[in-house]
Structure 1
Amino acid sequence: MSHRTNTEARLEARPEAAARTPEGYDGTTPFPVSGATSPLSGSQRRQLAVTALIVMFPFLALILGGWVLWGRLIGPVDVLLALGFYVLTGLGVTAGFHRLLTHRSFTAAPALRIALAAAGSMSFQGDVIGWVATHRRHHAFTDRPGDPHSPFRYGTSLRGLLRGLAHAHVGWLFQADATPVGRYAPDLLADRSMRALSRAFPVLCLLSLALPFAAGWAIGGTVRDGLTALLWAGLVRVALLQHVTWSVNSLCHMIGDRPFRTHRHDRATNLWPLALLSFGESWHNLHHADPTCARHGVDRGQLDPTAAAIRLFERLGLATDVHWPVPDRLDDRRQ
């Protein structure tokens, strides 16, 4: 208990934890626009182009690769490879990027820390340092001006909510609103291994597609087998995991239950249909009520595969200082 209290004190001392709601914001009006809009710089245009490639590439490749499936059903090897790579990269995002690196819900052995960060980088969701910085900023300004992907950005009218839903799901990726990593992720910038993984992001994305292709070819024995594995265990898997993650940003702030109290204007919800696909991340209300908790699904019947993986890491001696739920803390946060 004493260590958890010290950890929370460190969290509260961070710049993002001291965020304040701008004067005059009431939780229903569109976020105020700060400053005049300036033309995009060359680096900003390149960044947006890379983002567009990451978002659109799986779908464009699916269209171009559709001929591979013409007259052929998906095979068991494709399914097993897709499932395996989905679990690998998904836990890289949820256990690695999110609960370990962003919120420090547990301490990982150096090899596990690097492995999870590499697996998360293979999800095509951005480099590890940028991902962590953006998510910490989201917690600092949840559903208030400053939140990079709040669905309430354009207010709470029907038109505003529909526009905000699209923004929270994928539109925010195309905003020239870079999160300063020096402010929100100085710990990762100071970590040599995380800097190396951040630089290696493009290579890890290529590896994320090359491995399914190589595995399919090796198991099936033909290039066609490699291409179908690339399609299902590579492209479809990437697209599905991306949209599940983005759904936590969008749907899990608009639809679902809110059994726990969160900060003012924070509308994070629990959305059970996404629980398994998101590895427990869609128990989003509890997460925003207690961000450092290693388990998000804390009530009976709430599946949380990421917490199960962290428990396994703990039993193997690869994870220590795990911040498991404390009943008194949960009771104190219930509505």
Structure 2
Amino acid sequence: MTVVAERSPSAGPNPQPKPDIDPERKTRGELVTFGVVVAAPLIAIAAAVPFAWGWGLGWSDVLIAVVFYVVSGLGVTVGLHRHFTHGSFKAKRPLRIALGIAGSLSLEMSVLDWVATHRKHHKFSDKEGDPHSPWRFGSGFRALSKGLLYAHMGWLFEAERTNREKYAPDLVKDPDVQKLHAWFPVLAITSVALPAVLGGLLTWSLWGAVTGFFWGSLVRIGLLHHVTWSINSICHVFGEEDFEVRDKSRNVWWLAIPSFGESWHNLHHSDPTCARHGVLKGQIDLSAGLIRWFEKAGWASDVRWPNPERLAARRVERPTAV
């Protein structure tokens, strides 16, 4: 006989499902900050060529910009994306914290907000509820053009915030992630200011600080943002479909190097927890290479490498030429 325990009258009503949208909306100050973060690097990128052509690019600027781009970029792809969002591998605590710091230096979002937003994207990918689908307004030329702009950066200016409790409950309970979230403004300011400090020290001049800020902060942040946003926009409209998916995610080869392998986006949506996105011949995935290095060093474990059987089962059959 099965005994069913009665619910105590004092236990209260059944818990309600958490809403997709966090009751705490973005403030006007946050939206203005988003505007500055988006506009200033964009203007800097437009000014980069004439600035470099004249007198504004030295060896220290290249070094600072490249190092900060690689560190913050891999912080996004390996840290925020493959580790924190999808659990493609487990990381020892020092590495986990370092990846969280590196990802925060991108000025995209805090670890907590980045993960919550991206998990929601996967749940509703290219359907109603997706935070940044380019198919939001339809499939006609004008609708898709509008959708591409929205998916690229327009969605950042929505006042609604993805519910962290619903989409990242594991990270909400993680004390290290909570500290990284609280310290995000400090890390963002550090990411903007440190290139100028390093430029001044390396050249021992005020002009070196100015050019260090221009290339290592403004141009670097702008390029990284637009590469990341291109995964949301371009990689959901253009490119090749090598694996079966329920959305419009595609592979875009020419973004593979600057995105550290993230633009092999079709396989990622077919097998989201896989640690390698570029699984076919010739598909360079620098993020997966770094994860492999972490694994060999003993800093990462339980890495979810591609499974040949799963890949074969999901591979799209292409018609053969007659």
- TM bin, normalised by shorter chain, reads 0.7 to 0.9
Aligned residue type for 2:124: F
* Structure 2 length-normalised TM: 0.87
Contact 1:68–1:228 (Cα < 8 Å) also in 2: no
Q: How does 1:124-143 map to 2 (within 5 A)?
A: 124-143=107-126
Is 2:127 the partner of 1:107?
no
Aligned residue type for 1:232: W
Is 2:217 the partner of 1:234?
yes
1:143-177 CA distance string (max 9 Å, x none) = 00000000000000111100100010001111223
C-alpha distance 86-332 of structure 1, shift in aligned 2 (>3 A): same
1:200 match? 183
TM-superposed CA distance for 1:44, in Å, is 3.8
SS at match of 2:304: coil
1:96-144 CA distance string (max 9 Å, x none) = 0000000000000101111111111110101110010000000000000
1:186 match? 169
TM-superposed CA distance for 1:49, in Å, is 2.1
Is 2:29 the partner of 1:46?
yes
SS at match of 1:86: helix
Aligned residue type for 2:168: A
SS at match of 1:197: helix
Is 2:295 the partner of 1:334?
no
Aligned residue type for 1:131: W
1:284 match? 265
1:75 match? 58
Aligned residue type for 2:165: G
SS at match of 2:162: coil
Is 2:183 the partner of 1:217?
no
1:3-37 CA distance string (max 9 Å, x none) = xxxxxxxxxxxx99xx9xxxxxxxxxxxxxxxxxx
| Whole-angstrom CA distance in 2 between matches of 1:177 and 1:273 | 33
Aligned residue type for 1:195: Q
| Whole-angstrom CA distance in 1 between matches of 2:144 and 2:40 | 28
SS at match of 1:301: coil
Identity over aligned pairs, percent = 49
C-alpha distance 42-168 of structure 1, shift in aligned 2 (>3 A): closer
Aligned residue-pair number:
297
C-alpha distance 85-42 of structure 1, shift in aligned 2 (>3 A): closer
2:319 match? none
C-alpha distance 64-280 of structure 1, shift in aligned 2 (>3 A): closer
User: Aligned to 1:253, which of 225, 236, 242?
Assistant: 236
Aligned residue type for 2:96: R
RMSD of Structure 2 on Structure 1 (CA): 2.3
TM-superposed CA distance for 1:205, in Å, is 1.1
* Structure 1 length-normalised TM: 0.84
| Whole-angstrom CA distance in 2 between matches of 1:60 and 1:73 | 15
Range that drifts further, 50-59 or 289-298? 50-59
Contact 2:51–2:57 (Cα < 8 Å) also in 1: no
1:287-314 CA distance string (max 9 Å, x none) = 0000000000001110100000000100
Contact 2:119–2:167 (Cα < 8 Å) also in 1: yes
Q: Which runs of 5+ in 2 are unaligned?
A: 1-16, 317-322
TM-superposed CA distance for 1:56, in Å, is 2.1
Contact 1:123–1:241 (Cα < 8 Å) also in 2: yes
TM-superposed CA distance for 1:45, in Å, is 2.8
| Whole-angstrom CA distance in 2 between matches of 1:188 and 1:62 | 35
2:227 match? 244
TM-superposed CA distance for 1:77, in Å, is 1.6
Aligned residue type for 2:279: V
Contact 1:129–1:189 (Cα < 8 Å) also in 2: yes
Q: Which runs of 5+ in 1 are unaligned?
A: 1-14, 20-39
TM-superposed CA distance for 1:71, in Å, is 3.5
2:282 match? 301
| Whole-angstrom CA distance in 1 between matches of 2:84 and 2:146 | 31
Aligned residue type for 2:154: G
Q: Which has the larger radius of gyration?
A: 2
TM-superposed CA distance for 1:41, in Å, is 9.1
1:95 match? 78
1:40-66 CA distance string (max 9 Å, x none) = 998543332232232223345678999
User: Aligned to 1:148, which of 131, 148, 154?
Assistant: 131
Contact 1:151–1:167 (Cα < 8 Å) also in 2: yes
